Amino acid sequence: MSVKTPKFVRNNQRKIQHIMAIKITDECINCDACISECPNNAIYEPDDEWTYAQETSLEGSITLPNGETADAEESNEAISDEFYFIVTDKCTECKGFHDEPQCASVCPVDCCVPDEDNEESEEKLLEKKAWLHGE
C-alpha cells in the first residue's frame, strides 16, 4: 500500500495541485519511527498533550489557519489515546522541507495517509510552514 497520488484539477485554465495534510490511521503500530522525522513537530505519541509552540516559532496569542485565536503555549488534549497522531494545523505535508511526507516515507505499515477532511493547496501548506516558523 502506498500514499495516494494527489488529485489534479483544472481551474481557470491553470492546473492546481490539491494536496492534503497527512493523518495517521488506526493501523498504526506505535513503532515511533515517524516522530523524529517531522520537521514541524506535528506528530505526537498516544495520549500526549500538545502545543502549537513546541518546535515552532509560535508564541503567545496566535491566529490559527482557520482564523480562530489560541494560546501557543497552552496544552491541548491528545487527539488519540491509542495511536500516534498528527496535529493538522502543524502538518505541512513536509512542504518547504522535503519532497515527500517524511512520516509516510518511514512508516512500516503505510498508515500515514492523506487526510481527505483537510485538503489544502500547496500554497496554503507553504503559508502554514511560514506561519509555524516565523518566516
End-to-end CA distance of the chain: 35
Contacts of 65 (CB under 8 A, 6+ apart): 89, 124, 127, 128, 131
Name which position in 20, 62, 79, 94 contacts ligand SF4 (CB under 6 A): 94
Mark the segment that binds ligand SF4 (CB under 6 A) among 4-12, 30-38, 47-55, 66-74.
30-38
> Is the Cβ–Cβ distance between 101 and 92 less than 8 Å?
no
Name which position in 33, 64, 72, 78 contacts ligand SF4 (CB under 6 A): 33
Residue with cell 495516494: 4
Mark the segment that binds ligand SF4 (CB under 6 A) among 2-10, 55-63, 73-81, 91-99.
91-99
CA 57 to CA 19: how far, in whole Å?
24
Q: Largest alpha-carbon pair distance within the chain?
A: 46
Residue 85 engages ligand SF4 in binding (rule: CB under 6 A): no
Residue 29 engages ligand SF4 in binding (rule: CB under 6 A): yes
Name which position in 3, 53, 78, 106 contacts ligand SF4 (CB under 6 A): 106
Which of 113, 99, 97, 87 lies closest to 28 in space, CA to CA?
Answer: 113
What residues line the site for ligand SF4 (CB under 6 A)?
22, 24, 28-34, 37-40, 42-43, 84, 86, 91-94, 101-103, 106-107, 109, 111-112
